[in-house]
A and B are shown apart, each in its own frame.
Chain A
Amino acid sequence: MMAKKTINIPLGSQHISLLEPVKFKFECENEKIIAVDSDVGFVHRGIEKACTTKFKYDAVGYVVARICGLCAITHSLTYTTAVENLLEGELTLKVKYLRMLVAELDRIHSHMLCLSHTAENAGFEAMFMQIMGDREYVMDLQRLLTGNRVQFDYISIGGVNRDLSSEVAKQIKINLQIIKEKVHEYIDEFTNNWSLSLKYKDIGTLSLDEAYTYNAIGPLARASGIATDIRATSDYLPYDKIGFQIQTATKGDIHSRNMVRLNEILNSIAMCENIVDGLPDGEIQTKFKGKPKGESIVRLEAPRGELMYYLKGDGKAMLNRVRIKTPTFACIPAFSEVFTGSNYADAPAILASFDPCLSCTAK
């Protein structure tokens, strides 16, 4: 009897369908993957060390926003909330509403990027170009509101940097109405197209029990059936007043993850319209006194999952310890579990549906 031979094939750090610098080494036997070895850390820049030696506590919010390009505003918002817990002061309600508006606009454009990349890896190039063209409506809104398309620099300690004028509010409602109709067309296309369903249904499944064992978070966990979302329980930002609803699915394959992301875009559009209609009056900046002393832990929901910051200060201008836990970093063992047992030809489509962000992982 001959022993079965296995071949090592890398989905390397350079690949024609890969957007991120990650390396997976697959051990394959006749087209099925039986073992996975992963390597992250190609873009390590030493940000945790820089935040405690080179920058003072009021400048760290701008440093941390440059960890990632897609979830930049969530890093800045989580750090600022954690530092405000260690200082003395009080935020107005208008500031909280404006912070939520910017975070939800960021979530819409990040989910549209992930959906277009998943469609491209299944071979449907026309849908990739269509979704990227419609994403320009959201980028125009972000440029009108904050001055820039990608790196906003909108949040500082004690408030936000710009106010919402009435012309910008009118333009927000016009553009969001256009995007809502387009998203209904995408839901129709992703559900009923026959050749896409061959690539997406029952492929890359993560069952409910495996999701509990491997501590999955974000849309990966919600598509398998765990109803976990920080926006449902957090008391830093009043999400229950603007109509937040948690979206889940049950099967855990690629089709369920796409449906969860599409439904989250519709919910975010409804929340943005409620914010613009019901914005209270008030100041946009209040003064916070003192230097950071003590320790605090804050968690918020980024587009890819749950983000956690741990801060420790002892009364000086430089912080003592900044610990950042990003969503993709915690999910890498779950990714390896999904790859084991699938066909090698489905690997690019599965990887694109996870939505990895490697700049966040290798800080």
Chain B
Amino acid sequence: MINRITTQLSTVKNDIEKFYDKKVWHFLTLNGVKLDESTTEIQWIFSKYNNDDITMFYTNVKQDEIIPSITDILPSAIMSQREIVDMFGIEVEDSEKGLYLDEDSEQMPLSSCGI
């Protein structure tokens, strides 16, 4: 079962800091789903260490907003954040472009699928 919790861009860092305990919860990944022309849903997915419970924080983001970075709480989130910058074209703090794509390839490939 997936437990969905809604949040906002301005409060997501505080929510995750209050919720996360490093011996109980395990950070899985950061995900993006394109809902329509200008809105993307960003999800932060966690699961318990010896259980099948999944908790997901989600929020809707427009194309020109900046997502805050959570690498001071979770150092391993840097890889998923760089992937969101490459694939969707949305800016994230402290994450630079160029994980997968070069300058002369097609940019932001996932920003036009699923609509």
To the question of whether A and B form a pair in one complex, the answer is: yes
Do B74 and A215 have beta carbons less than 8 Å apart? yes
In the complex, A330→B47 CA distance in Å?
14
Q: Interface readout for A45-60 with B: 1 if CB under 8 Å, 0 if not?
A: 0101100110000000
Do B51 and A233 have beta carbons less than 8 Å apart? yes
Counting CB contacts under 8 A, is B18 at the interface? Answer: no
Q: Interface readout for B41-60 with A: 1 if CB under 8 Å, 0 if not?
A: 00001010111101000000
Do A334 and B110 have beta carbons less than 8 Å apart? no
What B residues does A48 contact at CB under 8 A?
Answer: 87, 110
Do A310 and B110 have beta carbons less than 8 Å apart? no
Do B74 and A41 have beta carbons less than 8 Å apart? no
Do A41 and B76 have beta carbons less than 8 Å apart? no
In the complex, A301→B85 CA distance in Å?
28
Do B75 and A297 have beta carbons less than 8 Å apart? no
Question: Of the candidates A49, A226, A295, which one forms a contact with B109 in the assembled complex, judged by CB atoms under 8 Å apart?
Answer: A49
Do A233 and B26 have beta carbons less than 8 Å apart? no
What A residues does B52 contact at CB under 8 A?
Answer: 233-235
Q: Interface readout for A18-61 with B: 1 if CB under 8 Å, 0 if not?
A: 00000000000000000000001100101011001100000000
In the complex, A321→B49 CA distance in Å?
26
What B residues does A49 contact at CB under 8 A?
Answer: 109-110, 113
Task: Return the chain A residue nearest B86 by Cβ.
Answer: A41
- Give the contacts of A210-247 with B (CB-CB under 8 A): 212-215, 226-228, 232-235
Task: Return the chain B residue nearest A230 by Cβ.
Answer: B52
A interface residue count range (under 10 / 10 to 19 / 20 to 34 / 35 or more): 35 or more
Known contacts A215-B74, A333-B78, A334-B76: does B50 contact A228 (CB below 8 Å)?
Answer: yes
What B residues does A325 contact at CB under 8 A?
Answer: 28-29
Task: Return the chain A residue nearest B48 by Cβ.
Answer: A233
What B residues does A215 contact at CB under 8 A?
Answer: 26-27, 74, 76
Closest beta carbon of chain B to A216's beta carbon, Å: 9
Closest beta carbon of chain B to A22's beta carbon, Å: 13
What A residues does B45 contact at CB under 8 A?
Answer: 297, 308, 310
In the complex, A161→B41 CA distance in Å?
38
Counting CB contacts under 8 A, is B100 at the interface? Answer: yes
Question: Of the candidates B29, B50, B74, B78, which one forms a contact with A323 in the assembled complex, judged by CB atoms under 8 Å apart?
Answer: B29
What B residues does A299 contact at CB under 8 A?
Answer: 28, 47
> Given A40-B99, A44-B101, A333-B75, 13 other A-B contacts at CB below 8 A?
A41-B99, A49-B109, A49-B113, A213-B75, A214-B75, A215-B74, A233-B51, A295-B2, A308-B29, A320-B33, A320-B114, A321-B34, A323-B31
16 contacts between A and B (CB under 8 A): A41-B99, A49-B109, A213-B75, A233-B51, A234-B52, A297-B2, A299-B28, A308-B45, A312-B114, A320-B33, A321-B114, A323-B31, A325-B28, A330-B76, A333-B75, A362-B100
Chain B positions within 8 Å of A, measured between CB atoms, are 2, 22-23, 26-29, 31, 33-34, 45, 47, 49-52, 54, 74-76, 78-79, 87, 99-101, 109-110, 113-114
User: Which 6 A/B pairs are nearest by Cβ-Cβ distance?
Assistant: A41-B100, A44-B100, A325-B29, A320-B114, A333-B76, A215-B76
